[in-house]
Amino acid sequence: MLFHAPHHSPATETAATERWQPEQRHAARRLVWLVDPIGAIPGEGLLPSRTWAVARALVAAGHEVIWWTSSFSHTRGIGRTPPLQIVAEEGFQVKLVAARRYRQEFSLARFASHRDFARTFERVACEAVAAGQLGRPDLLVATLPPPETVDAAVRVARRLDAELVVDVTEWWPEPLRPLIPGPAWLAAAVAAVRFPAISRQQRQLLGQADALLAGSQTTANQLVSPETAKLPLKVVPTGSYVQDYVPPRPLIDRVPAPGRNGQPPVDPSPPLAIAVAGDLDDKADLLRLVDLARALSSRGVNAELRVVGRGRWMPRLEAAAPLLKGSCRIAVLGPVDRTRYVGLLADCQAGLVLPGLLDRFPLPAVASDYAAAGLAVVLAGAGELADLVTAAEAGVVAADAEPDSLAAAIATLTASAQQLSRHRQAARRLAETRLDRERLAAELVAWLESLASPQPSAGGSNQLLHKLEQA
């Protein structure tokens, strides 16, 4: 069986009564359920997900944590097995809920898999509590997307008299558009029929939560609606584990060795290594990377784009990369594990944020990884990340996502070694001060604990405090 129920512990037996003691509850040990079927779990060799970071922070704060997730790995595309020694190593439990497999990110099979997870989670979780196998949770933190997960979490929270916080990591449905298979006209037709219903469903679900969490201010702005106007809302970026990366070395100017026979010295500097991390799911990003390499070659920029990740267009890029000629090359590395990923970033000097990725995540985790590794961050257009990078002088921002604009921005990094070094040092400082995942996760947990405090918020009453007043 995929679901393994733990023994009922004394700590969980008292959790339900502690919920309704405002003067003690924020300091008491609480049982928290994390409901996220998509995020990477321990033991998969993948980069730690946002939910994983939250689970660690909750455990560090003294809470008991159970993470409910799918038996199918969305990232790896294979079935999962129960993580061994997870409680001893991480301090929290992981429950695998049976769900069918799927191949394409936008497919009926995927949506059916999400429904499988939601229905089975709701049934198994409630039955386990009713049978005394699990303690009644004080708090549920459900991740959106997928909407099916939040729908089930709403019903479970009501049935078990628990609070519900929805963590909106990605505001659907518009980011689904590039994932729709087939020609552009078909994608437009599908979006016109399906997207309005998805959007309405999400807003209705959010209105039934006790509080909302967003990974960026841009996402938070999208959540504002009549249904959510009175809910507490917190913005906490995902960030990066800064301690995983070695800070970049400061630049030391060296006098070049003289050339032979009176000839000018030869510049021995290697090509500018540019990391390009993230799934290549948008065809526009595929074409943009190829054209960017050509634009850099036309400028004589000695560079190498090191592309790492998955995505349905990655095989096409792998086929096109060897055909490129010129001073800029593309190295397609594909999916890598966490150790190799960290090492890859350590060997680069700059990191390019794919425009398609920015359309989905205004503050993508890969940008935080670039900054933590001390890479000059390269991106295009305006927005939350562009403002952050510009203010910190942590990289360069192109006016738009056209290959020529990106090439011009990257060319400035090769013009001056001193300026590149300053960008890299500034990026590392940005990661340490604003994008440290451990600090951000601790801040998130402190906010979750504050929701139980009897002190009213600046905006007035909310549903969560109303529950406490009525208890």
Would you write out the chain's pLDDT as a tens digit for each of its 471 residues? Answer: 333 333 333 333 333 333 333 333 344 779 999 999 998 888 887 888 899 999 999 999 999 999 999 998 888 888 888 777 888 889 999 999 999 888 777 777 888 888 999 999 999 999 999 999 999 999 999 999 888 999 999 999 999 999 999 999 887 777 777 777 778 788 788 888 888 888 888 888 899 999 999 999 999 998 888 888 889 999 999 999 999 999 998 876 555 556 566 565 555 578 999 999 998 988 899 999 999 999 999 999 999 999 999 888 999 999 999 999 999 999 999 999 889 999 999 999 999 999 988 888 899 999 999 999 999 999 998 999 999 999 999 999 999 999 999 999 999 999 999 999 999 999 999 999 999 999 999 999 999 998 875 444 333 334 444 443 443
Cα 189–chain centre separation = 29
Q: Is residue 173 reached through a cis peptide bond, with omega within 30 degrees of 0 on the bond before it? A: yes
What does the pLDDT read at residue 158?
Answer: 95
What 3-state DSSP class applies to 139? strand
Phi and psi dihedrals of 115, rounded to 5?
A: -65, -40
What does the pLDDT read at residue 161?
Answer: 94
Helix axes 403-415, 417-434, angle to 10 degrees: 110
| Planar angle of CA 440, 90, 333, nearest 5 degrees | 75
DSSP state of 33: E
CA distances from 172 to 147, 201, 203, 271, 280 (A): 9, 10, 11, 39, 18
> Can you tell me the distance from the alpha carbon of 433 to that of 242, in angstroms, rounded to the nearest whole number?
10
376-380, strands of its sheet edge to edge: 328-334, 303-308, 272-277, 350-352, 376-380, 395-398
What 3-state DSSP class applies to 164? strand
What does the pLDDT read at residue 255?
Answer: 52
What does the pLDDT read at residue 20?
Answer: 30
Cα 133–chain centre separation = 32
CA distances from 211 to 135, 220, 228, 443 (A): 22, 12, 9, 15
What does the pLDDT read at residue 201?
Answer: 82
What does the pLDDT read at residue 1?
Answer: 32
Phi and psi dihedrals of 305, rounded to 5?
A: -90, 115
